[in-house]
Amino acid sequence: MQNRRVLVTGGAGFIGSTLANWLAEDNDVIAVDNAFLGTAENLSDGVEFIEASVLDEEYPDDIDVLFHLAALSSRNMHEEDPQRGCRVNIEGFVNAVEQVRKQGCDTVVYASTSSIYGSRTEPSPESIPVTAQTAYEASKLSRERYAEYYANHHEIAMAGLRFFSVYQGFGGNEKHKGEYANTVAQFADAIASGESPELFGDGTQTRDFTHVNDVARACELAADHDLTGIYNVGTEEAYSFNEMIEMINNALGTEIEPEYIDCPFDDYVHDTMADATKFREATGWEPEIKFTDGVKLVCEPYLNESVGL
């Protein structure tokens, strides 16, 4: 993508800022964020930052492409305040699309979620039935339905990407999220600090861990191809939390054992893995960062600190 005017909502957050910085090398990029789960410190000088909510109507809407990543991205946030989750994740989505649509934008890429597949050890294709077990999942499914409306009624390219366990380390753009940061970052930080990470159950739960840089590339490709529909973005490989802890220890040269605790959620998803065939065939996208290498990238800043770099 080159020479396009781009709006990234949630643009100061973890995924949003990575995408905004990536696109700013060749495009005019505006990042809108209310600074609840994001910080302008994540953004490069080439990105215009506007502090605003996706529920507002006073941010730039004369754009070529909308990347809508703004959301309350935690299950717990929605369960604690379902009405707020609905306003931000559903009304905020409709508000953002409506504003840019009226100004002529006809390409939208938005974040959905892989958690709606529930617990599956087999790869999950987009074609299987899905259900909403949490308010967070319900909000993302609602986005997909509204996107279907916009595609059919307004002929807008609406690409919904179901991300699988996106990660990066605290040396990247997620440290500000604290307890809401991805598990790889949290566990690596705990182990680097000499603390035992807390794992639900026995640590055998698995995830399809997808590096944020690969997700940013996927977002750009979805826009470049003017895709419409639902697409999985994942590596098609799964690792257990126990395996992740072992990788982190190996990378850091430590031997910190995890602490196993009871899972507080009845709706906890135990296993996920993507079937990314549809997106690969549509765009040629392939993940470039294997999880074994990604863990090393997450741990690298701690090793640099230890030698005084």
- Report pLDDT for 172: 76
In CATH terms, the fold of domain 5-166+209-233 is Rossmann fold (3.40.50)
Please give the Cα distance from 115 to 163 (Å, whole number). Answer: 9
- Report pLDDT for 306: 58
CATH superfamily, domain 170-206+238-272+290-306, is: UDP-galactose 4-epimerase, domain 1 (3.90.25.10)
Please give the Cα distance from 309 to 297 (Å, whole number). Answer: 16
Q: How far is CA 248 from CA 155, 176, 208, in A?
A: 46, 21, 16
CA angle 4, 14, 192 (to 5 degrees): 145
Q: For 106-127, what is each residue's pLDDT tens digit?
A: 999 999 999 999 999 999 999 9
Decide: pTM greater than 0.75: yes
CA angle 257, 180, 288 (to 5 degrees): 75
Please give the Cα distance from 150 to 158 (Å, whole number). Answer: 7
**241-252 and 291-306 are packed helices; what angle lies between their axes, rounded to 10 degrees?**
40
Phi, psi of 254 (to 5 degrees): -115, 175
- Report pLDDT for 245: 98
- Report pLDDT for 77: 77
- Range list for CATH 3.90.25.10 in the chain: 170-206+238-272+290-306
- Report pLDDT for 309: 38
Strands 206-207, 239-240: pairing is antiparallel
What's CA 256's distance to the chain center, in Å?
28
- Range list for CATH 3.40.50.720 in the chain: 5-166+209-233
Please give the Cα distance from 256 to 60 (Å, whole number). Answer: 48
56 with 75: CB under 8 angstroms?
A: no
For the chain, residues with pLDDT lower than 50 are 307-309
174, with CB counted inside 10 A (0-12, 13-18, 19+), is buried
Q: For 19-62, what is each residue's pLDDT tens digit?
A: 999 999 999 999 999 988 788 999 999 999 999 999 998 888 89
Extract the tokens encoding 99.
């504003």
Closest CA relative to residue 160, chosen from 204, 219, 212, 106: 219
Give the alpha-carbon dihedral of 287, 289, 292, 293, to 10 degrees.
170
Q: Which sequence positions are flagged as catalytic?
A: 136
